[in-house]
Amino acid sequence: MLSIVVCVKAVPDLDEADKIRIDPDTKALTRHDIPLVINPLDRNALEAALQIKEKGEAHITIISMGPPSAGNVVKECLALGVDQGILLSDPAFAGADAFATAYTLYKAIDKLDSVDCVFCGRASSDGATEWVGPELATFLRMPVVTMVREFVEAGGNSWKVKADIEDGYRLVQVEMPAVFTVTHTANTPRTLSFSGIIKARKKEITTWILDDLGVAEESVGLKGSPTIVSDLTVVESKRTCQIIEGTLEEKADILINKLISSGVLL
């Protein structure tokens, strides 16, 4: 049976984005009281895995690294049809950059019996580095295809996928096992169902802490992160209003020139 691992990040709900603040000392986002949701692009990755499962036999494991409250996100994945949920939660994991996150995920995946492929969302809605998938593939010594929009042939020793590029797509054949980062054009993620939630009652969430992964504290979290956020600023938007006079054509010309001079139009 095909064994698929999907890496899922619990991110602050963008509907509550106005409540997110930047800690002036640590430059970290303060997310207290903001509900955590499945990272939107990870839902595309999860949906891709679920669609492959529906076409043939597959076992889907999701792995999420986050605080204990991320358990709700894992539970939601189970309700969406995932077979097994693993939460990596330990104070030592906090503050991880993409590298430390990828390393921690790698150590968790390495504990699993056999893995045929790993799916990640293309990027997270908070960090948005797009590095975790490729870095994870490096740790796992697997090939990686990023920006996957379609799984053309999934199954067997090599898969064919279409991956987005700027003006089109690449058709890529990749030897398995492999890592794929999935983009938003791949599918429309399914919504939760009441019966899915009921079925999830019987599915357990496994929590792994630092000791379970057998890694040094210096290798994970903030201590294991080679990159640091040196500064973060909030973009302030100010409204201004100008009345443009003239004929319709004159007004259009003035408007276009103003948009060009202000850098809105190139």
Partner 1 sequence: MIDFTFTDEQELFRKAAREFAETQIAPLVPKMEETGRDWDPAIKALCDAEMMAITIPEEYGGLGLGYVERLIALEEIARVSVATAMMMQVGALGTAPIIVFGSEEQKKKYLPGLASGKHFATVAVTEPSGGSDPKGCTTTYKKQGDSYFLNGRKCFITNSHIADVQVVMAVDEENPDSFSTFIVESGMKGFKPTHEEHKVGMRGCNTGEIELKDCEVPAENLLGGEGKGMRVAMTAIGDVGRGGMVGCSLGLQQACLEASIKFANERILYGKPINRLQAIQFKLAEIKIDLDAGRLLGYRAASIQDAGGRSSNEFAVAKYYTAEAAQRAAKMAADIHGGYGCMEEFVVTRYLRDSFVLGPSAGTSDIMKVIISRWVLS
Instruction: Give me the torsion for CA of 84, 86, 179, 211, rounded to 10°.
Output: -140
Helix (H, G, I), strand (E, B) or coil at 35: coil
Q: How far is the CB of 69 from partner 1 (least distance, A)?
A: 11
Instruction: Identify residues 196-235 at the interface with partner 1 (CB under 8 A).
Output: 196-198, 201
Q: How far is the CB of 259 from partner 1 (least distance, A)?
A: 23
Q: Which of 26, 158, 193, 257 binds partner 1 (CB under 8 A)?
A: 193
CB atoms within 10 A of CB 9: 25
Residue (9 or 43) nearer to partner 1, CB: 43
Tokens of 156: 């067997």
Q: How far is the CB of 7 from partner 1 (least distance, A)?
A: 21
Tokens of 66: 């986050």
Instruction: Identify residues 100-159 at the interface with partner 1 (CB under 8 A).
Output: none
Total binding residues for partner 1 by CB under 8 A? 13
Q: How far is the CB of 194 from partner 1 (least distance, A)?
A: 5
Segment holding 208, helix H or strand E: strand 205-208
Q: How far is the CB of 74 from partner 1 (least distance, A)?
A: 11
Q: How far is CA 77 from the centre of its chain?
A: 13
**Residue 242 sits in the site that holds partner 1 (CB under 8 A):** no
Residue (37 or 174) nearer to partner 1, CB: 37
Which residues does residue 161 pair with via DSSP β-bridges, in sequence order? 151, 172
Contacts of 186 (CB under 8 A, 6+ apart): 44, 47, 48, 148, 149, 150, 151
Instruction: Identify residues 63-92 at the interface with partner 1 (CB under 8 A).
Output: 72, 75-76, 79
In the chain, the N- to C-terminal Cα span, in Å, equals 52
Reading phi first (left if > 0) and then psi (alpha if -120 to 50, else beta), residue 181 is in beta
Q: Which of 157, 191, 242, 261 binds partner 1 (CB under 8 A)?
A: 191
Q: Which of 1, 192, 216, 244 binds partner 1 (CB under 8 A)?
A: 192
Q: How far is the CB of 197 from partner 1 (least distance, A)?
A: 5
Contact indicator for 61, 4 with CB cutoff of 8 Å: yes
Task: List residues binding partner 1 (CB under 8 A).
Answer: 72, 75-76, 79, 191-198, 201
